[in-house]
A and B are shown apart, each in its own frame.
Chain A
Amino acid sequence: EVQLVESGGGLVQPGGSLRLSCTASGFTFSIYWMNWVRQAPGKGLEWVANIKPDGTEKYYVDSVKGRFTISRDNAKNSLYLQINSLRAEDTAVYYCARGSNYAYWGQGTMVTVSS
């Protein structure tokens, strides 16, 4: 069974940092593009970033470029999102999703940016 489990969210002050993790199981992690998608409270879905299977290509939505860094460790079946210089508008549930079709999603981890 495919499983994606996010962790690392929490309450952080504006300007702070967090590292989100997504642990995958039930499939060959190393052959899939992986994504982070977020959803602000009461709002819609927004793609944030993705990373090629070998980690050599990474893409970001404009609003997070220079502040967020996506990475992966295929040996650990894990995806990461380092989020720096957090702003109130980054408050959201962050999901990891598999592949170009986002066929599988984790349960999400909540990031709250507030003083």
Chain B
Amino acid sequence: QSVLTQPPSASGTPGQRVTISCSGSSSNIGNYTVNWYQQLPGTAPKLLIYSNNLRPSGVPDRFSGSKSATSASLAISGLQSEDEADYYCAAWSDSLNGRLFGGGTKLTVL
């Protein structure tokens, strides 16, 4: 069971806006920035959002991130079928000296 809590599943229809939450504590999200990773079926994870709300080059602006206190959220607007994937939040953990991952959320586009 991960210290960063995500809902196991989320869904939406094409064009909709969906959000995925990530809940942590003061020892991780509360003190550090949050990254989000997208893992398409059968592929390696890809950095989607870093430093809470920044997008690497090439990531569409349909994807946005936010953080408040010990929680973070990923929002996907204008949902597309190719967004169907697993999404993971991650935050630095002092106790690990590495990034702690959430359990992942499987997004289904209906």
Q: Which chain A residues have a beta carbon within 8 Å of chain B's beta carbons? A: 35, 37, 44-47, 49-50, 59, 61, 95, 100-108
CB of A50 to closest CB in B, whole Å: 5
Are B96 and A59 in contact, with the CB atoms below 8 A?
A: yes
Binds A, one of B14-22, B23-31, B100-108: B100-108
Task: Contacts A44-B2, A45-B104 given; indicate if A102 touches B44 (C-beta within 8 A).
Answer: no
Contacts of A50 in B (CB 8 A): 97-98
Chain B contact residue count (CB 8 A cutoff): 23
- Beyond contacts A45-B88, A59-B96, A102-B90: 8 other A-B pairs, Cβ-Cβ < 8 A, are A35-B98, A44-B101, A45-B101, A47-B96, A47-B99, A100-B92, A101-B35, A102-B47
Q: Is the CB of B45 within 8 A of A45?
A: yes
CB distance from A93 to the nearest CB of B (A): 8
In the assembled complex, B37 has its CB within 8 A of some CB on chain A? yes
Is B60 an interface residue, CB under 8 A from the partner? Answer: no
**Is B56 within 8 A of A106, CB to CB?**
no
Contacts of A100 in B (CB 8 A): 92, 99
Contact residues in B for A108 (Cβ distance below 8 Å): 44
- Whether the Cβ atoms of B101 and A47 lie closer than 8 Å is yes
Mark contacts of B37-49 with chain A using CB atoms, 8 A cut-off: 1 yes-contact digit, 0 otherwise.
Answer: 1010001111100
Say whether A103 contacts B104, CB under 8 Å: no
Alpha-carbon distance between A45 and B104 when the two chains are bound, in angstroms: 8
| B56 surroundings in chain A (CB, below 8 A) | 103
- A46 in contact with B101 (CB, 8 Å): yes
A24 to chain B minimum Cβ distance, whole angstroms, is 14
A33: nearest residue on chain B (CB-CB)? Answer: B98
Knowing A102-B90, A105-B44, the reply to whether A44 touches B96 (Cβ < 8 A) is: no
Name 15 interchain pairs, CB-CB below 8 A, sorted by A. Answer: A35-B99, A44-B88, A44-B101, A45-B37, A45-B88, A50-B97, A59-B96, A61-B98, A100-B99, A101-B35, A101-B50, A102-B99, A103-B47, A107-B43, A108-B44
Q: How distant is the Cα of A37 from the Cα of B100 in the complex, in angstroms?
A: 11
Q: Are A106 and B44 in contact (CB under 8 A)?
A: yes
Residues of A within 8 A of B45 (CB): 37, 45, 95, 102, 105
